[in-house]
Chains A and B, each alone.
Chain A
Amino acid sequence: MNIKCRINGEEIILCAEPQERLRDVLYRTGYRSVRDSDDAEGFAGSDTIIFNDTLKYSNFILAYQAEGAEIRTAEGLLSGRELNYVQKAMISAGIVASAYNAPAAALILTWLLEKKPNPTKDEIKEALSGIFIRDAGYEHYYLAVKLACELRDTGTYQSEIAPSFRPKLETIGKPMDKIDGAALVSGEPVFVEDKVPANAWCLHILRSPFASAYIKSIDISEAEKLDGVAAIITADNCPDVYYMQAGQGNPEPSPHDRRLFNHKVRHVGDRVAGIVARTKEIADKAASLIKVEYEPTDAVYTVEQAMAEGAPLVHNGPVQYNAGAPADLDEFNARAGDEREGKVVYQFPLGANIQKNIAASNKGGIGDMEKGFAEADAVVDCTYQTSQIQHTPLEPHVCYAHIENGRLVLNCSTQVPYHVRRIVSWVCGIPENKIHVIKERVGGGYGAKQDILVEEITGYAAWLTGKPVYYRNTREEEFIANSTRHPMRVRVKMGGKKDGTITAIFMEVCANTGPFGNHCLTVPMNSCSKTLPLFKVDNMAYDLKVFYTNIPPAGAYQGYGTPKGNYGIMMAMAELADKLGIDFKLMIEKNHVEEGYMLEILKGLGEGREGNVVPVGSCGLDEAIEKGCEMIEWGKKEVSSDPDWKIGKGFAMIMQGSGLPGLDHAEAIAKLETDGTVILNSGGADLGTGLDTISAKIVAEVLKLPMDRITVVSGDTDACAFDTGSYASSGTFFSGNASLVATNKLKEKVLAEAALQLEEDVADLDVRAPGEVYSKKTGKTISYYELTHTATSGGGRGQIIAHGSFVTAASSVPYGAHFAQVAVNTKTGEIKVQKFYALQDAGTPINPECALTQIYGAVMKSIGHSLYEGMELDENGKCINANLTDYGTPMIGEAPDDFKSVLVDVDDKYGPFGAKSISEIACNGAAPAIGIAIHDACGVWLRSWPMTPEKVLKALGKL
């Protein structure tokens, strides 16, 4: 039917089926800002439009209902290419991060300001109550509204956006708009889904209803006969290639324990068949015609079940080692089970024993534990449990693959374009030069898109059929068939003296990796390697084991294992302080590391190899603790006017890394273009954090060029040079440093060329704004334009190009302290986070406003994990809350009443212009800070997250 309506002031006729959702019709018609994050759950708000002057979710409006309607989308906020004042303010405030629903947020705030020109905080909160922001948190939305009002009323900003750092530098450390902000907030077609042509074929995955079962038979004959089915891929016909989905350096510290499809399904939601069909409807029909005969087997869901004597085995095939095979491997493999188990290939030993469900293990330590505990006046020995957490990026996992000029081209939403290329190459059996991976803008990653969860099957489907193939996870598939945060059991034994000196720390970590071993060693290693080095304690040891189970898969998640390890170790320290009767702050001060302390503990914590023993570098821990304690008035007891509500305070030290020294690798290519502008090709993958802006700022700073004369092309495997990707907090430190190396080299070449053209000595030359070389000796100048024009005109020496490669053994560790004040209702168990202060040493924050919003976003995630979120499985391993509502996703209503992020000023020796990483570390503090505050409020220790009202009541003995 034809539907006549007005959209953004224009008379439009929409062609649609009456029962189509208006969201789908609008998107298809070209209103790309109207996105969908929740499959019409009515939760995330990416589908928000203004419908007859009212904000509505367009998924809840049928096409026919739009007849005669007045509709506004974010496209209508623009005047030509000019953003409106709200969009500009949002970019300036640093909230246009991964930005999948930033256009919807801009529309909501524009509507709000039209109705209420000077809204209160409560009115802003209400307007944003229906939109889910996972990346930047909500706090700077209030700032954005304030800035928008100032811009509207005075034409300029009056308020400080963020603090500035490094006064001698022009761009570094200064709040400046993110270079991709305009494209993102305006709703430009910058995401994978926007690159999919109408003729793309659909890839649909038929998934297992069983947590563990052999596939006895699978009959695809009837499904294959359907018109419009190009291929059905199963365990019977897929490549016999074992791989893993973790995006890690090659060779990976994860076992190759899967094929595209396996003869044994290992979790509810595991792949059974992949159907390539002309439409989704045909794919659905084909799926219904596939006859699968399963042979269910017993399953295990917890580490306790997995480690039990005689437990069902998740993998029981033969094991191979590409290096370091144990002497008894043949004997081990003689005990392997059914051939449908497949095999497990380790690149090198990880301490595994799959016949005990152990995917990896490690142990080590320093000092004498027995002596350490013997010296203690008190010892605590407690176990902390964490739940299975989903990343919930606004943009689900998605991939578009097609064949072009004999090559496989993949448009991806990924943190690791080069790992995608490598793994697709393995699976498809084609060399890397035949594969082109283009990282589009990433609508939320948080580690989920460090794993190659959909790209290999989509790429193979396109390569097999020759069809353009599009795949997109449903929101349910995001929960059941994706990576999640490993559930962990962290036991901490800690001894201390009456004066607060810690004498020994032992950590025992049991991690649940689910059916596959993605990051199975690295994630739990981080629970020790990013916590124990906070302590200057002579006796420390760890013992970690990772178990295969039949829960939905686990993998990388922002912070890796650190949030869980830190929850355990900080809670244990607070419990020890309580037992010793001393102030927690005193105990922290007495035991935390400071600059120069040699970290012997790191020797064994090297993620599958020997770690580097290094001294503590730049460290803002002291300042973070002191300032935070002042802010929250540590030691002052707050009392509620309602006696049912008890108030308590807590805090936790935090640390992380800045990439993986000795493993990570980044490259960049800087080119002086023929008009004197610069294009920087960075292998780094900006996933919304502002990495491209960091690279642009580095070029601007070094070459003294205005930002608008610099373009960054990144994450394109054809255009750029290798980079291991954006994970483990490597972006700024590794990719940023590669950009710095490339730009410094470009500058050297520019000066060398200028010396020849000006006939001057290179030592007398330097660059200056707005992009020229000048002689300090003679005063002669030459613009970059003249310089490059001559270099590329006939008789010149050619375009000036520089390549930068960055690897290092140095480590730049960010530190910080997070503080919480909570109120606990001792009658109902309810917990309110009244105050949260996040103080972090990020070295030089290159984009300070984005640094702050990354902290807010990560803390909100962490508050979510600590108090609300958790996947629940039934007795058959099926996730029963695989949607955003039931899962417990925190919205603006869960944000602390008083929420502050503070950047502690520390200049680092190794990071680009002194920068360190910023966002991952911010996931590490909330759980222990809140847990300790709950104890301070009502005297109970909650040793499992999420820390729910029900658990409070149980701990108080009321249940």
Chain B
Amino acid sequence: MIYAPNTIEEAAALRAKLADSAVYLAGGTDDLRLGSEAGGKDLIDINALCPDTIEEKDGKISIGSRCTLQALKESDALPCFLREAAGFCASFIKRNSATVGGNLALRRSDSYLAAALAAANASLLVVNKDGEAKEIPVTKYLACDCTCLIVKIVINAGLNGWIRRFGRTSSSHATLIAAVCGDTYAISVSGSPLACGSSPDLTASICFCDDITGSAEYKKYLAETVFTLRR
């Protein structure tokens, strides 16, 4: 079943109502991919609802949640490390479909963008099941399992940062992505929740595990080492 709600609020309410049986559909690169957790679920098409533009105003940059990773990568308005993060989705063709909101909503531990946006202290404009819009830090959103619909991602303009990805190949899932922006450090580690803080020593807050991308020991070593690398 495919739902085509008329408003963002309607979409968010529908998603909450069908919590276990439906997902939002935007770019489709996860919902429709092989082995997706969305397999067999109903789809709530939000393509006509959420914005897909990048706008700068009053020292803030708003990224529409339906903005594609390719648009992110190409945007001169965005800081380089965030554009670089968008490029961690190595396939240009996939980047043409995959959306910023989709990548965050998946809450994957190997998210292309999570570390960069967390380091950038990004906030998300989301709409909840009651139709209420609110702004929450990206880290808070990633740590919860709410069904809110992401409408926009907001960061400060003029940020400078640095990011590094480790993975078996350019196209495989990342082992670890680390980003720093100002005094904020963030690390996405495959199989673990995002870690973020004001110190580069984040390993204590991460529970490392073995998986296809590498051993827990290897990941821990990278987490300890990454911020000592030359930038």
Assuming the contacts A42-B91, A57-B94, asked whether A888 and B169 have C-beta atoms less than 8 A apart, the reply is yes
Q: Is B57 an interface residue (CB 8 A)?
A: no
Q: Is A60 an interface residue (CB 8 A)?
A: yes
- Set B43, B94, B172, B225: member contacting A42, Cβ < 8 A: B94
Q: Is A19 an interface residue (CB 8 A)?
A: yes
* Contact assessment for A56 and B172 in the assembled complex, using a CB-CB cutoff below 8 Å: no
- Set B43, B171, B222: member contacting A885, Cβ < 8 A: B171
Q: Would you call the interface of chain B mostly helix, strand, loop, or mixed?
A: loop
> 5 closest A-B pairs (Cβ-Cβ)?
A893-B170, A130-B93, A130-B91, A60-B28, A41-B34
Residues in chain B near residue A64, CB distance under 8 A: 2
Q: What is the bound-complex CA distance between A886 and B190, given in angstroms?
A: 12
* Contact assessment for A60 and B90 in the assembled complex, using a CB-CB cutoff below 8 Å: no
Q: Is B146 an interface residue (CB 8 A)?
A: no
Residues in chain A near residue B183, CB distance under 8 A: none
Q: What is the bound-complex CA distance between A889 and B29, given in angstroms?
A: 19
Q: Is A127 an interface residue (CB 8 A)?
A: yes
- Sampled A-B contacts (16; CB under 8 Å): A19-B2, A19-B43, A40-B33, A41-B33, A41-B35, A48-B93, A57-B29, A60-B29, A129-B90, A827-B228, A828-B222, A828-B225, A868-B168, A888-B172, A953-B218, A959-B218
Question: How many residue pairs bridge A and B at CB < 8 Å?
Answer: 123
Interface residues of A in 26-77 (CB under 8 A from B): 38-43, 45, 48, 54-57, 59-62, 64-65
Q: What is the bound-complex CA distance between A644 and B29, given in angstroms?
A: 36
Q: Is A883 an interface residue (CB 8 A)?
A: yes
Q: Given A56-B97, A828-B225, A950-B215, 12 more contacts at CB 8 Å? A: A19-B2, A39-B34, A45-B93, A54-B96, A55-B92, A57-B93, A129-B91, A827-B225, A880-B212, A885-B173, A891-B170, A958-B221
Assuming the contacts A40-B34, A958-B221, A959-B221, asked whether A60 and B172 have C-beta atoms less than 8 A apart, the reply is no
- Mask, B160-173, CB within 8 Å of A = 1, is 00000010111111
Residues in chain B near residue A894, CB distance under 8 A: 169-170
Residue of A nearest to B213 (CB): A886
* Contact assessment for B32 and A59 in the assembled complex, using a CB-CB cutoff below 8 Å: yes
Residues in chain B near residue A59, CB distance under 8 A: 32-33
Q: Which of A39, A42, A43, A890 has the most CB of B within 10 A?
A: A42
- Set B47, B96, B230: member contacting A55, Cβ < 8 A: B96
CB distance from A439 to the nearest CB of B (A): 29
CB distance from B98 to the nearest CB of A (A): 9
Residues in chain A near residue B221, CB distance under 8 A: 953, 958-959
Residues in chain A near residue B172, CB distance under 8 A: 868, 885-886, 888
Q: What is the bound-complex CA distance between A861 and B216, given in angstroms?
A: 28
* Contact assessment for A60 and B218 in the assembled complex, using a CB-CB cutoff below 8 Å: no
Assuming the contacts A55-B92, A56-B93, A129-B90, asked whether A830 and B218 have C-beta atoms less than 8 A apart, the reply is no
Residue of A nearest to B228 (CB): A827
- A: residues with CB less than 8 A from B are 18-19, 21, 38-43, 45, 48, 54-57, 59-62, 64-65, 108, 126-127, 129-131, 475, 642, 644, 827-828, 830, 868, 872, 880-881, 883, 885-886, 888-891, 893-894, 948-950, 953, 958-959
Residues in chain A near residue B225, CB distance under 8 A: 827-828
Assuming the contacts A39-B34, A41-B33, A126-B92, asked whether A60 and B169 have C-beta atoms less than 8 A apart, the reply is no
* Contact assessment for A890 and B169 in the assembled complex, using a CB-CB cutoff below 8 Å: yes
Residues in chain A near residue B166, CB distance under 8 A: 828, 830, 949
Residues in chain A near residue B28, CB distance under 8 A: 60-62
Residues in chain A near residue B32, CB distance under 8 A: 21, 40, 59-62
Q: What is the bound-complex CA distance between A953 and B215, given in angstroms?
A: 12
Residue of B nearest to A951 (CB): B218
Residues in chain B near residue A129, CB distance under 8 A: 90-93, 170
* Contact assessment for B96 and A889 in the assembled complex, using a CB-CB cutoff below 8 Å: no
* Contact assessment for A883 and B93 in the assembled complex, using a CB-CB cutoff below 8 Å: no
- B: residues with CB less than 8 A from A are 2, 25, 27-29, 32-35, 43, 47, 90-94, 96-97, 166, 168-173, 212, 214-215, 217-218, 221-222, 225-226, 228-230
Q: What is the bound-complex CA distance between A42 and B90, given in angstroms?
A: 11
Q: What is the bound-complex CA distance between A43 and B33, given in angstroms?
A: 10
CB distance from B35 to the nearest CB of A (A): 7
Residues in chain B near residue A130, CB distance under 8 A: 90-94
* Contact assessment for B171 and A43 in the assembled complex, using a CB-CB cutoff below 8 Å: yes
* Contact assessment for B92 and A959 in the assembled complex, using a CB-CB cutoff below 8 Å: no
Q: What is the bound-complex CA distance between A41 and B36, given in angstroms?
A: 9
Residues in chain B near residue A60, CB distance under 8 A: 27-29, 32-33, 97
Q: What is the bound-complex CA distance between A473 and B7, given in angstroms?
A: 42
Residue of A nearest to B36 (CB): A40
Residues in chain B near residue A108, CB distance under 8 A: 93
Residues in chain B near residue A890, CB distance under 8 A: 169
* Contact assessment for A881 and B215 in the assembled complex, using a CB-CB cutoff below 8 Å: no
Q: What is the bound-complex CA distance between A894 and B18, given in angstroms?
A: 42
Q: Which of B33, B215, B226, B228 has the most CB of A within 10 A?
A: B33
CB distance from B63 to the nearest CB of A (A): 19
- Set A56, A880, A886, A950: member contacting B96, Cβ < 8 A: A56
Residues in chain B near residue A893, CB distance under 8 A: 90, 169-171
Residues in chain B near residue A127, CB distance under 8 A: 92
CB distance from B47 to the nearest CB of A (A): 8
Residue of A nearest to B25 (CB): A62
CB distance from A127 to the nearest CB of B (A): 6
Q: Which of B43, B93, B169 has the most CB of A within 10 A?
A: B93
* Contact assessment for A475 and B214 in the assembled complex, using a CB-CB cutoff below 8 Å: no
Residue of B nearest to A47 (CB): B93
* Contact assessment for B94 and A950 in the assembled complex, using a CB-CB cutoff below 8 Å: no
Residues in chain B near residue A642, CB distance under 8 A: 230
Residues in chain B near residue A38, CB distance under 8 A: 34
CB distance from B82 to the nearest CB of A (A): 18
- Set B47, B212, B214, B217: member contacting A881, Cβ < 8 A: B212
Residue of B nearest to A645 (CB): B230
Residues in chain B near residue A65, CB distance under 8 A: 47
Residues in chain B near residue A41, CB distance under 8 A: 33-35
Q: What is the bound-complex CA distance between A42 and B97, given in angstroms?
A: 11
CB distance from B14 to the nearest CB of A (A): 17
- Set B2, B93, B170, B173: member contacting A62, Cβ < 8 A: B2
Q: What is the bound-complex CA distance between A959 and B47, given in angstroms?
A: 47
* Contact assessment for A644 and B229 in the assembled complex, using a CB-CB cutoff below 8 Å: yes
Residues in chain A near residue B35, CB distance under 8 A: 41, 883
- Set A39, A55, A886, A949: member contacting B212, Cβ < 8 A: A886
CB distance from B99 to the nearest CB of A (A): 11
Residues in chain A near residue B34, CB distance under 8 A: 38-42, 475, 883
* Contact assessment for A644 and B33 in the assembled complex, using a CB-CB cutoff below 8 Å: no
Residues in chain A near residue B93, CB distance under 8 A: 45, 48, 55-57, 108, 129-131
Assuming the contacts A40-B33, A889-B169, A950-B218, asked whether A828 and B229 have C-beta atoms less than 8 A apart, the reply is yes
Residues in chain A near residue B47, CB distance under 8 A: 65
* Contact assessment for B168 and A888 in the assembled complex, using a CB-CB cutoff below 8 Å: yes
Residues in chain A near residue B214, CB distance under 8 A: 948, 950
- Set A61, A828, A868, A958: member contacting B169, Cβ < 8 A: A868
* Contact assessment for B212 and A891 in the assembled complex, using a CB-CB cutoff below 8 Å: no
Residues in chain B near residue A126, CB distance under 8 A: 92
CB distance from A37 to the nearest CB of B (A): 11
Q: What is the bound-complex CA distance between A885 and B35, given in angstroms?
A: 12
CB distance from B105 to the nearest CB of A (A): 16
CB distance from B96 to the nearest CB of A (A): 5
Q: What is the bound-complex CA distance between A949 and B225, given in angstroms?
A: 14
Q: What is the bound-complex CA distance between A881 and B211, given in angstroms?
A: 10
Q: What is the bound-complex CA distance between A880 and B211, given in angstroms?
A: 10
Residue of A nearest to B45 (CB): A65
Q: What is the bound-complex CA distance between A207 and B35, given in angstroms?
A: 18
Residues in chain B near residue A42, CB distance under 8 A: 29, 33-34, 91, 94
Q: What is the bound-complex CA distance between A883 and B212, given in angstroms?
A: 12
CB distance from B83 to the nearest CB of A (A): 13
Residues in chain A near residue B217, CB distance under 8 A: 959
CB distance from B207 to the nearest CB of A (A): 18
Residues in chain A near residue B27, CB distance under 8 A: 60
Q: Which of B2, B27, B28 has the most CB of A within 10 A?
A: B28
